[in-house]
Structure 1
Amino acid sequence: MTDTTPSDATLDCAQEPIHLPGAIQPHGVLLGCTLPDWSIAHVSANCQAFFSGVEPASLLGQPLDRVLPLETVHAVRNQLQTAMLAGTAERLDCLALDVGAQRYDLTVHMADGLAVIEATPAVQGSGANGVSLLRGLAGRLRRAPTVARLLTLAAQQMRAVTGYDRVMIYRFLHDDSGEVVAEAVRPGTESYLGLRYPATDIPAQARTLYRRQPLRLIPDVDYQPVPVLPGRGPDGLPLDLGLAALRSVSPVHIQYLRNMGVRATLTVSLMKGDRLWGLIACHHGEPHYLSGALCSAAELFGQMLSLQIDAREQQHEQQRLSLAQDAHDQLLAAMSPRDTVFEDLDRYADMLNSMIACDGMAVWSNGALSGRGMLPPEDAIAELIAFLERMPADRIYATSSLSEHFAAAGRFAECASGVLAIPISRVAQDYLLFFRRELIQTVSWGGNPDKATQRDPATGKLHPRSSFEAWRETVRGHAQPWTTSERRVAETLRVALLEVVLRRSELIATERQRAQDSQSLLIAELNHRVKNVLSLVLATTRQSAQQATSVEAFTEEVERRIQALASAHDQINAPSGTSTHLRALLESEARAWCREDEPDERVQLTGDAVLLDVRAYQTLALVFHEMMTNAAKYGALSVPGGQLAVTWRLVEGRGLEIEWNESGGPIVQAPTRRGFGSIVTERTIAFELQGEARVEFRPEGLFAFFMVPAEHVSPSADQPRRADAAKRTTSSIAGLRLLLVEDSMMIALDAQTMLEDAGVQVEIAGSLDDARRALRLDRFDLVVLDVNLAGETSLGIAAELEAEQRPFLFATGYGARTAIPERFDQVPVVTKPYNLSALAYAMGQLPGVPR
């Protein structure tokens, strides 16, 4: 004998036509009849033992009703109708074949267009006994607490009913090998519990027949096959006996049973839907015959056990799915389009692990990896992604032995022998990956699976192995398999994550559109503001010209008003996180157009000390800027005698109420169309603060009422320091040497002229390189640094000056301390356009500047 490889054995076994043996077992007789005339076309050669010595040849061609009693023929014809509809073999109990007293159990089915009738001797009373036993056993099965206990009880009960030495529950695994998962044995009989058997022990065509034929009885393996005559039908093939209960057994299987020391067997199929879940395999050391009635009871028991197994597994799977679904719902509830598993895997890892148990998980998104737990190296995951990209993008990929499909996985089998990959994008190949570590298993086989069969060198025939002693094999590269429920959860999660991705895409698109709309609005507002500023500059220039007594006075007045206007614009960018006085805001806006000696006369501000939060400050800065601009262009402040009175008060439970009253100006008329400024004035407070705004165009002067809700305002113990209290004399800066770092030549020259007129020596540097060169060559009393210089900042030079303890201050056109780091909080800042008083005041705050 020579050993064969598993693939050789599988190929040879798969090619054996076990449904066409051309013979039956001798404990019964077979007839095959043509339809619809019911003439006998096939007969087993042992018919003499069942039909009073009638020769087979004499039966061929005879009508069935001349051979069998009419009541038997009638019963067979009726039962054949059921068999034809179901595609199975149907049983009939205790019928006569001839005039004798012997009764027979019959089966009938269709094969090759023929009605095939089989008959075996009936045992009186056995059927009633078997059915009564099954009735009591059904309750026991239902009460079994676990599937394992259910299977053990089933093996015990089957042995009690049938009397076999050994009854095994045999379950098929994913690779078609099988394992004995429960067993009941007669004392002294060898146990096979826990052993596995290779797929070649029950080849594919045998498994197909077990699906078609739920019960298979071999009373004595040492039988002599009985030929079916004629040996071949009109098609040149033997009669198909795939559904025949008496079908003769493959010689290889007969030898297999003999090698195990088995003389008789009964096999009952266990089905889960259309899938062969396993077998009830009964073995006996001596010949053992079961009546048709007991066979029917055993078949019914197998169907009942199949239903119980299916129900228990579905219940377990449903419980697992329910727990996973709860975790799935919690996961989706916790995620928002902005905060998903893609951005923060650690936050959601525990919930994902409760849905799908794993040893490690990773997100591969846009070519970047984030992970948790046991993971392969990043370069190995990149290779795995390339492998997964060849798989369909609309379904999950799961395997418990990755190295069998992806050779490179052998390098990291220890941490990731199993992988479940969920595609999370239909466009880019992004994945959520679950990994399971290698489980090094010791599998006990019923004999060496690599030597399942041997080939006779003389005949070339296969022979089964002769040893079934436990043979242990160490299996590597395999992980705990992914269950059906885990695969279903993964598929549900795939769909849910795709929805999250879609929602995120929609959010991004919405935000992009919102940003575009905001940008358009900003451009419109900036356009409006620039026009207002130009109009206000023109109005300021005209008013200053009317009031000036000399060119010098006119120049000084225009300069002061433009500087005040710039300061008012700075109010729009409120300092973040701080509260600001309402009075300070109004004073800043008023200074944009009034003479230094006029504000108290033309603009009267009356009210409590009130602080505004940032949101209210920014909103009211926009509104008051519009109101002041319109007053200066068209209203009370557009003429010398006009007056403006602004009063406010805090109302408990309501908020801040503000009244704006203009008088002494031109006659007021309601505008014929509403411009951008009107929209800002009348709607901004309501929209941004949920407050109120009302504007009345009274002939004697414009009136407006505003209400800011209480949550945006608070009382203050102190009134703001008046702006004119901060004035500083410019005479103290005469004689100073100053370096002005400014990239705008026109602004720099204007500032140089202004400072030199005040007695300051000024040198201009238009770039950082020029500034550093000047600082190396000369010693200045202080440096004025424009923060932004043509795409770069002066913060580097500021740090150098700070380290050398040389005085400096910042200048910016962005308002206040925008873009200046906190480390320079103590450094004075002046805002553009440059103003001599502001510069003098800032210089006075610097330590180390000569007085």
Structure 2
Amino acid sequence: MLLRSPRVAIAAAASELDISPAELEECAREPIHVPGSVQPHGALITVREDDLRIAQASENTQALVGVDARALVGRPLRALLDPASWGPLERALGRPSLRKESPLPMRFAGLALTATMHRSEGLVVIELEAPGPPEEERIAGALELVLERLGGARSVLDLLGIVTSELKALTGYDRVMIYRFHEDGHGEVVVEEREAEMEPYLGLHYPASDIPPQARRLYKKNPIRCIRDVEARDAQIVPEENPRTGRPLDLSDAWLRSVSPVHVQYLRNMGARASMSISIVREGELFGLVACHHRVPRLLGPATRGMCVVLGRMVSLQVEVLAQHEATEQKLRASRRAQRYVEQVTQGLGAAGKRAPATGDAERGLLGQVEALSGFVEATGVAVVDEQNVATAGVTPAREQVLGIVAWLREVMAEPIYATDALGEELPEARALAPVASGLLVTSFSPGARTLLMWFRPEVERTVTWGGDPRKPLTRDPMTMRLAPRRSFEVWRQTVKGRAEPWKPWEIEAASALRAAVAAIVLGQAAELARLASDLRAALRTRDDFLTVASHELRTPIATLRLTLDGLERAVSRAEGGLRPAEALPRIEMAQRQVERTASLVDQLLDVSKLSSGKLALSFSEMDLGGLVRRVAERHLLPAAAAGCTMEVHAEPGVVGQWDEGRLDQVVTNLLTNAIKYGAGKPVTIEVTAGRGEAEIVVKDRGIGIPVEAQARIFERFERAVPTSHYGGFGLGLWIVKQFVEQMGGRVSVDSTEGRGATFTVRLPLVRRVRHEEEGQGVAGA
């Protein structure tokens, strides 16, 4: 489908603004991911993973932990940690991925701190902050109620309104608003909660240049961004260069990453001293942004930020579910509307065919049905044009003008549907036609656009309200000559001419449905309508299943977390002279496990979303399968022991192939977790072998087994072979296993006898098979 949208390129954007393309390019090139410094409310160190020695440190470590940054570089990390902190840190480093949203209690240089970790270009980045304030416990307990409210949303806008009001209540920021991005990249404030004395931003539009491309990439990569105080002095990193790369340290994933001077000034101009942003991502693209502003310095503690990350992911998932539901309803309405008109038009085509059998072609028959087609979409005129004739109804351009537009369309139409609300911007010769044809929706019925159906709309003068003059989004500081954001956000109204009302998605869907129907004449419209209705019912069932299961599964770890934190609070209040670490650490670790379980459940739902939308990206590399299986088994020794299971691993040496290590880790983890869960008290064995061009992983338990009638469906979404009341889970694990394995060119099967255990077998090609679907799925090659 060819949809024309202006101002999508930098050059096009500059033509609309009082700035040059070079200035926009300069703003877009600012390396905000490698600032060489951090915000000063926390300290950052990097550690070489091979010897766990400190490679870099922020210069404020002296103020935070009492040790100079240069004295830290080169020292073993273990020498600075309390012995009780070393074990949890070592276990965290043993995981394939580090959860930045899962804070780790740590005593560093004798001080109680909270650490978050991630990997960056061969180093482990550790960010150290003071523990969160007491209200962290209240906020964590309230998350369950927020998730329940989100589950009640019935539209995307309803969902965003709930998120805004709940986040303001939970976090205490003065203003919480949500930008929703338009197709041309500019943002609009669609919901807002604020203190009564603050200026409202609801309904204001902001130019795309307010959030340049590199900032949008960071928002997609890093789901949350917190700025404690725009007036604080940043702490430089010593040395600035990553010793592994010789380049400045990449801080894309760092909580503490310092702030671009342009953005600092932007926030000052808006009267904000502190801010937090949460990304809303749909189908891999930035759908919107939750923006929280405060007039004095403010920072949420690490645990609460982690909860906001989880909330942001849940909102992204729910936006996807609701948007798909709305799209399905639009398709259904369009299909019904198309069916009514197709019946009318088809009857006319049949009559025309009887009168003139030699020229009873369906496309030419449309010429006689132009009156019936005039009300098909919300248009003021319609034209049907073939190679020799023009038929019109309603208010349209003159015949020669229509033919001029058709000649241009036959050159530019690459797809059978074309839509624009500003024809004069696409075809300058059509600007004079704005009172009749600013809007144009076209469907082509044959190669080369020989037969076209065209709907017209007149221009509608309208006012767009901007937060400041969009023609001047940037200025240049006369003293430093650096680019700076505009200083005024006063309401600026723009009168837009030469534009019609945009074509609605259902109108474009209806035109596409009509094209398909007319092209075939006798199209199974009833069958298509039934299929769409079935899709809608299935989407509703999937949504309801998701909400029911997600509410149940997420409530359990959150309730446990709340009880643990309540108990810890009571113990602290009773303790004289402070709670001893030996008493506190087990409870903190229990809370940590529940946070990790919640994050794991959300990650599982994100995998489902990516798989369902075809957005899963695989990264193939050469790896030792036996080594991976042993690492997964080692991570499960404690859970297996707790379940009374012994575990044996038999792996042939040298089983090496090209696979996605992270996804394969999830496959083995899911199978092994199931074996321990359903085979409690019995031995579990894992075998890795190779032969006939394939690697084979076999996970065998001697537990409850799987009934024969259930074996065919356990690899489907939300399918369970056991009662939910006895065993928790979404019913997604085996579906995810099957999808991941098939994405890597393999297959998975099960052999089980009820009451005697189950054996799951994964077969993977030793030589990578390139799938035809990879280009469409964005799978990264080796």
Q: Tell me: CA distance 1:33–1:341, structure 2 relative to 1, closer, same or farther (3 Å).
A: same
Q: Secondary structure at the match of 1:390?
A: helix
SS of 1:322's equivalent? helix
Q: Does 1:157 align with 2:166?
A: yes
Is the Cα–Cα contact under 8 Å of residues 425 and 501 in structure 1 kept in the other structure?
Answer: no
Aligned-residue offset at 1:425: 0.6
The answer to whether the aligner puts 1:368 opposite 2:382 as a matched pair is no
Say if 1:360 and 1:109 are closer, same or farther in 2 by CA, change over 3 A. farther
Shift of the 26–499 alpha-carbon distance from structure 1 to 2, 3 Å rule, reads: same
In 2, the alpha carbon distance for the partners of 1:438 and 1:481 equals 10
Conserved in 2, the CA contact under 8 Å of 1:28 and 1:246?
yes
SS of equivalent to 2:365:
coil
Matched letter for residue 19 of structure 2: T
Matched, 1:297 2:318: no
Q: Tell me the residue number matched to 1:192.
A: 201
Is 1:279 aligned with 2:289? yes
- Alignment partner, residue 18 of structure 1: 32
1:46 corresponds to 2:60: yes
Report the equivalent of 1:527: none
- Give me the whole-angstrom Cα distance separating, in 2, the residues matched to 1:150 and 1:370: 46
Identity rate of aligned residues, in percent?
37
Verify the 8 A CA contact 2:113 2:128 in the aligned structure 1: no
Where does 1:653-668 land on structure 2 (aligned, <5 Å)? none
In the TM superposition, what whole-angstrom CA distance separates every residue of 1:214-240 from its partner, at most 9, and x where no partner exists? 100001110101111111235442111
Q: Secondary structure at the match of 1:102?
A: strand
Residues of 1 paired with 2:324 and 2:332: CA distance?
12
Residue 311 in structure 1 maps to residue 321 in structure 2: yes
Aligned partner of 2:128 in structure 1 is 119
Aligned partner (choices 466, 476, 498) of residue 477 of structure 1:
498
Q: Which has the larger radius of gyration?
A: 1
Aligned: 1:359 with 2:380: yes
Query: What one-letter code is carried by the residue in structure 1 that aligns with 2:365?
Result: E
Match of 1:201 among 191, 207, 210: 210
The question of whether the paired residues in 1 share the 8 Å contact of 2:223 and 2:279 is answered with yes
Alignment length, in residue pairs? 495
Paired position in structure 2 for 1:415 = 436
Do the aligned residues in 2 keep the contact of 1:24 with 1:44 (CA within 8 Å)?
Answer: yes
Q: What is the correspondence of 1:572-611 to structure 2 with a 5 Å cutoff?
A: none
Closer, same or farther: CA 267–393 of 1 in aligned 2, 3 Å: closer
Query: Which has the bigger relative contact order, CA under 8 A and spacing at least 6?
Result: 2
- Asked whether the equivalents of residues 222 and 263 of structure 1 are also in contact (C-alpha less than 8 Å), the reply is yes
Counterpart residue identity of residue 281, structure 1:
A
Give the whole-Å Cα distance in 1 for the aligned partners of 2:93 and 2:383. 60
Q: CA deviation at 1:213?
A: 0.6
Q: Please say if residues 94 and 122 of structure 1, whose CA atoms lie closer than 8 Å, have aligned partners that are also in contact.
A: no
| Residue 838 (structure 1) aligns with | none
**Aligned partner of residue 52 in structure 2, secondary structure:** coil
User: 1-side partners of 2:225 and 2:384: how far apart?
Assistant: 52
Could you tell me whether the CA contact under 8 Å between 2:410 and 2:448 is conserved in 1?
Answer: no
Classify 1:123/1:428 alpha carbon distance in 2 versus 1 (closer, same or farther; 3 Å): closer
How far residue 489 of structure 1 moved from its aligned partner, in angstroms, is 4.3
Match of 1:242 among 239, 252, 263: 252
SS at match of 1:91: coil
In structure 2, relative to structure 1, the CA distance for the partners of 1:332 and 1:156 (3 Å cut) is same
* CA distance, structure 2, for counterparts of residue 415 and residue 382 of structure 1: 15
2:192 to 183, 190, 193: 183
1:462 aligned residue (480, 483, 487): 483
AA matched with 1:18: I
1:249: how far off? 0.5
CA contact (8 A) 1:64 1:73 kept: no
Letter in 1 for 2:33: H
- Per the TM alignment, residue 111 of structure 1 is displaced from its structure 2 partner at its CA by 1.8
1:201, CA displacement in angstroms? 1.0
487 and 244 in structure 1: CA distance in 2 versus 1, 3 angstrom threshold: farther
- CA–CA separation in structure 2 for the residues paired with 1:301 and 1:230: 36
For residue 449 of structure 1, give the secondary structure of its aligned residue in structure 2. Answer: coil
Aligned residue type for 2:71 = S
Q: Which residue of 1 aligns with 2:50?
A: 36
> Which of 55, 63, 68 is residue 81 of structure 2 equivalent to?
68
1:220 aligns with 2:229: yes
1:328–1:351 CA contact under 8 A, matched in 2: no
Matched residue of 2:318: which SS?
helix
Contact 2:367 2:385 in 1 (8 A): no
Deviation at 1:36, TM superposition (A): 3.0
**In 1, distance between residues paired with 2:234 and 2:396?**
60
User: Shift in Å at residue 306 of structure 1?
Assistant: 2.6
Instruction: From the superposition, tell whether residues 45 and 353 of structure 1 become closer, same or farther in structure 2 (CA, over 3 Å).
Output: farther
CA 1:77–1:363: 2 relative to 1, 3 Å: farther
5+ residue gaps, structure 2, are 1-16, 354-359, 525-782
Change (3 A) 1:184 1:407: same
- The aligned residue for residue 266 of structure 2 is 256
Deviations 1:15-52 (A, max 9, x none): 1111111111011111222233333222111122343x
Q: CA deviation at 1:371?
A: 2.4
Cα deviation, residue 278, structure 1: 0.8
Equivalent pair of 1:165/1:282 in contact (CA under 8 Å) = yes
Q: Determine which of 229, 232, 237 is the counterpart of 2:238.
A: 229
- Is 1:140 matched with 2:115? no
In the alignment, is the contact (CA less than 8 A) between 2:280 and 2:313 conserved in 1?
A: yes
- Equivalent residue for 2:742? none
Shift of 1:138: 2.6
Q: 1:4 to 1:428 in 2, by over 3 A?
A: closer
Q: State how far apart, in whole Å, the 2-side matches of 1:382 and 1:424 are.
A: 17
Q: CA deviation at 1:458?
A: 4.0
Q: Normalized against structure 2, the TM-score is what? A: 0.59
SS at 1:41's partner residue? strand
Cα distance in structure 2, aligned partners of 1:431 and 1:83 = 56
In the other structure, the counterpart of 1:343 is: 365
CA offsets 1:155-190 (integer angstroms, 9 cap, x no match)? 111111110111111111111111111110112111
* Structure 1 position 291, deviation (Å): 0.5
Following superposition, the deviation at residue 74 of structure 1 comes to 4.6
CA distance in 1, matches of 2:90, 2:283: 29
Distance 1:147 1:49 in 2: 46
1:34-71 Cα distance to aligned partner (Å, 9 max, x none): 233333222111122343x2222222223333333455
- State the alpha-carbon separation in 2 of the partners of residues 237 and 108 from structure 1: 20
The reply to whether residue 404 of structure 1 matches residue 425 of structure 2 is yes
Q: CA deviation at 1:120?
A: 2.0
List alignment gaps of at least 5 residues for structure 1. 504-851
Looking at structure 1, the residues matched to 179 and 23 of structure 2 have their Cα atoms a distance apart, in angstroms, of: 21
Is contact 1:263-1:287 (8 Å) kept? yes
2: CA distance between counterparts of 1:16 and 1:429? 49
2:453 matches 1:439 = no
Structure 2 residue 449 is the aligned partner of structure 1 residue 390: no
Post-superposition CA distance 1:712-763 (Å, at most 9, x none): xxxxxxxxxxxxxxxxxxxxxxxxxxxxxxxxxxxxxxxxxxxxxxxxxxxx
AA matched with 1:29: A
When residues 174 and 393 of structure 1 are mapped into structure 2, their CA distance, relative to the original with a 3 A threshold, is: closer
Partner Cα separation in structure 1 for residue 383 and residue 283 of structure 2: 36
Question: Secondary structure, in 3 states, of the residue corresponding to 2:34?
Answer: coil
**Which residue of structure 2 lines up, in the alignment, with residue 429 of structure 1?**
450
After TM superposition, give the deviation of residue 426 of structure 1 in Å: 1.2
Tell me the TM-score normalized by structure 1.
Answer: 0.55
2:219 alignment partner, one of 203, 210, 226:
210
Q: Tell me the distance in 1 between the aligned counterparts of 2:264 and 2:380.
A: 46
Q: 1:374 to 1:61 in 2, by over 3 A?
A: farther
1:320 and 2:333 are equivalent in the alignment = no
Q: Give a deviation string over 1:115-141, Cα, whole Å, max 9, x none.
A: 222122222544332232221123333
